[in-house]
Homo-oligomer: A and B are copies of this chain.
Amino acid sequence: MLNYDAGQGEWSNWLVTETGFDPAHQGKGEAVLSIGNGYMGLRSATDENYVGQVRNWFVAGTFNKFDEHEVTELPNAADVTELSITLNGETFSLEKGRTISYSRQLNLKNGELTRNVVWQSPTGESFELQFRRFVSLSNRHLVGSSVSIKPLDGQARVHIASGINGQWTNSGAQHFTEGEKRIFEKTYIQMTSTTTQSVVDFVTNTVHHWQLNGAKVEPELRQTMGRRKVGIEGTVTVEAGQSVTLEKISNVHTSRDLVYNNGGYSLEQMRESALTELKQESQKGYDQLFRESANAWADTWSTYNIEVDSTSGYDQLAIRFAIYHLVIMTPAHDNRMGIGAKGLSGEGYKGHSFWDTEIFILPFFIYSNPKIARSLLEYRYQGLDGARSKAKENGFEGAMYPWEAAWIEDGEVTPVWGDVDIVTGEQTKIWSGFIEQHITSDIAYAVWHYVQSTGDEAFMDQYGYEIIFDTATFWASRLEWDENKGRYHINEVVGPDEYKEHVDNNAFTNHMAHFNMELAIQYYEKLQQEKPELLKALSAKLDLTSAREAWNKLDQMYLPGPNEQGLIPQDDTYLQKKVIDLTPYKNQTKVASIFNDYNLDQVGEMQISKQADIMMLFFLLENKFEPDIKRANYDYYEEKTLHDSSLSLSTHSILASDFGNRPLAYDLFRRASEIDLGPHMHSSDAGIHSASLGGIWECVVMGFAGVRMLDGQLHLDPKLPESWSSLKFPLYWQNQLLHITITAEGILIESDAEEEISLLLSGQQVTFSKRFQTLV
């Protein structure tokens, strides 16, 4: 139903095309073709309604909690995209009549979503309909949409009901108190609403412009108001071959916007200011507003452009698709906001941030746009208070980051209950919020990764040390002394592999905690020598004297290592568990098919992994393990891994690149890209997979190009897939922008600045300025 090769010339490998409409599979197109700008995300529900449609519009950071029994989530805002179109008395719907042609396209290059339909109504009259829609990248509050309708067979009465509809919910949870509905000058429509618990005001405006054959026309108009609804209905008589166009320019402002949040704005002033903006902007019309946004997209693509020469154009498109979504999911404008696990493209995971950001997405920004990476880490800094509260509530010290994070003040927001337990008939308890604790060291790792790659000492001084010290303090307090073994353990956790709950000494968790504490000691010592004043200030805040003492526990910490077969046990009991044939559950169209036959307790008793666990450890701390150990473990665990998490395939692909297994690495890259782009029509229903999209960039840049930061050094170790003849990508290193071109013939590195650049190229130290080239 989706194809990727419709683009020709300028648009080659830029177009994602939906070739037919299937009401049973709307989620796919809604999520994959969603549009946005990081401030807002607009899921691409069709203008007309269908059963099964999920119409979502999210504004980043506007979290609200429905009630005390639920966790906070991004509320689904009042909609401006819905149109009810009636053509000579027949409501336009692709479920009836005959669809003569259909094509819906997301243009990744300019951010426009278009849909072209020729539809024959049940009475036999044909119409050509063209829909266009964009979320502006140049004015973050703005949405433009347009529909043109041309009757092909004879005169038609075209009736369109449009407006603002606040009846939509998050799967039944209504997050808004209805405010005022208003039509100004019979033209501008405004609705205000306020989130019920977090008290965030939303002001939504829209205006309609009607044209007949490109000239302004006044339709017969009716103003309408209903519960949580305000709109207009317009009717125009159109001759055969004429075209009537309805342009709709809309905006949304919320009291979380920095401009309102920091000042003493009243709701009245917000309304005035948002309406004034709409009045001014809408004068420009759809085309001009769209051009402004498309120009901003052009700038964006010049920042992130990766060029691939592959025998399959799809590879280029898949990379662009990943970057497109990384751009629209990221609230780069506001460091009080993180990235949702489904971006802003669906209700899944409620807009919450997981380790997905730090481990799968942050590298993209560290190496492509470090300012945004910094903003994302500042978000985590602002979450420290919540992390400290969580530690305290759990009887620990320091900062224990929430498994799921939402608004900076919220602390832990992981829901407690999940899907059905097929054995007990109860909801399955979700343990991640309680005991999936590696997120804390993942964030410390990310801070280190960022600063090592950028050299942003100012960030460290202001935020970074505090995060690293206080997370290390958490781990020190978290360690449990085992009297028998005479060492520290970390018991009763969930590691990255979420099919194993309540395990002791998860290898990933232990190693990363150790890394976190080790890092704290290193930085502590560095500050002692280089910045004693800063250390003193931090000590006053964090009681670093006793913390430093506690970190020493790492010396007596149990770090799972290879056994006689060279296998690192994923946890204390994994390797003793039953092994079953997983063939029936691998590569299913639906992930987690194992739960049709077993419940989580039963799966927990077998050697079955949801996702990369030990492999993730190998990727993050690659220096700590020998290549042959990695290979042996890869072979062992890959067999047991269902890749039921979208965080899994890309990691395996990178490791395959590390091993030099190019066909496998490429195959895993393709499979990872198909998590959203593939033929599984329900995999993206709840939204695209943010981490997987970051993972695609990682497969390419960290896998195929072998970019890595090790011991503060930039490494490049290209192993292009056999079908790729070249790969070109931008890369920031220590505040320098490099342009790297890898071909079968050799490697070219260019730098925009004069400074000397030093890196390890396939193990060889090279130093240059401006330009470096090597031929095979």
Binding site for B on A (CB under 8 A): 23-24, 49-52, 66-67, 69-70, 91, 93, 95-96, 166-169, 171-174, 177-178, 180-186, 196, 222-228, 230, 419-420, 422, 425-427, 596
Asked whether, in the complex, the Cβ of A174 is within 8 Å of the Cβ of B174, the reply is yes
Residues of chain B lying within 8 A (CB to CB) of residue A228: 171-173
Interchain CB contact under 8 A, A425 and B169: no
Asked if A172 and B166 make an inter-chain contact with CB atoms under 8 angstroms apart, the answer reads yes
- In whole Å, how far is A94's beta carbon from the nearest beta carbon of chain B? 9
A463 to chain B, nearest CB (A): 36
Task: Report chain B residues within 8 Å CB of A174.
Answer: 66, 169, 172-174
Q: A421 CB to closest chain B CB, in angstroms?
A: 9
Residue numbers in B under 8 Å from A196 (CB-CB): 67
- Taking CB atoms, residues of chain B closer than 8 Å to A67 are 177, 196
Let me know if B167 and A171 touch, CB within 8 A. Answer: yes
Contact of A425 among B52, B66, B168, B223 (CB under 8 A): B223
Once the chains are docked, how many angstroms separate the CA of A171 from the CA of B166? 9
List the 4 shortest-distance A-B pairs measured between CB atoms, nearest first.
A167-B172, A183-B425, A225-B420, A95-B95
With the chains together, A177 CA to B67 CA distance in Å? 7
A425 and B172 contact, CB distance less than 8 A: no
The CA of A167 and the CA of B420, in the complex, are separated in Å by 17
Question: In the docked arrangement, what's the CA distance between A23 and B90, Å?
Answer: 11
Copies in the complex: 2
Chain B residues within 8 Å of A226, by CB: 171, 419
Chain B, Cβ-Cβ closest to A596: B222
Considering the chains assembled together, what is the distance between the CA atoms of A222 and B166 in angstroms? 34
| B227:A181 contact, CB within 8 angstroms | no
- One of B172, B184, B186, B222 near A169 (C-beta < 8 A): B172
Q: Which one, B66, B230, B419, contacts A420 given CB within 8 A?
A: B230
Q: Which of A24, A174, A178, A184 has the most CB of B within 10 A?
A: A174
Give min CB distance, A595 to chain B, whole Å.
10
Contact of A95 among B93, B227, B420 (CB under 8 A): B93
In the complex the two chains form, is A184's CB within 8 Å of B425's CB?
Answer: yes
Given contacts A177-B67, A425-B185, contact A223 B420 (CB under 8 A): yes
**Bound complex: CA of A174 vs CA of B167, how far in Å?**
10
The distance in angstroms between the C-alpha atoms of A425 and B196, with both chains bound, is 26
Give Cα A168–Cα B427 distance, bound, in whole angstroms. 21
From B52, B172, B186, contact of A227 by CB (8 A): B172
Give min CB distance, A164 to chain B, whole Å: 12
A-B CB contact pairs (8 Å), 20 listed: A23-B91, A51-B51, A66-B177, A67-B177, A69-B177, A70-B178, A93-B95, A169-B169, A172-B174, A173-B228, A174-B174, A181-B420, A182-B425, A182-B426, A222-B596, A223-B420, A223-B422, A224-B420, A225-B427, A226-B419
Q: Which of these, B224, B425, B596, contacts A186 with CB under 8 Å? A: B425
- With a cutoff of 8 Å between Cβ atoms, the chain B residues found around residue A172 in the complex are 166-169, 174, 227-228
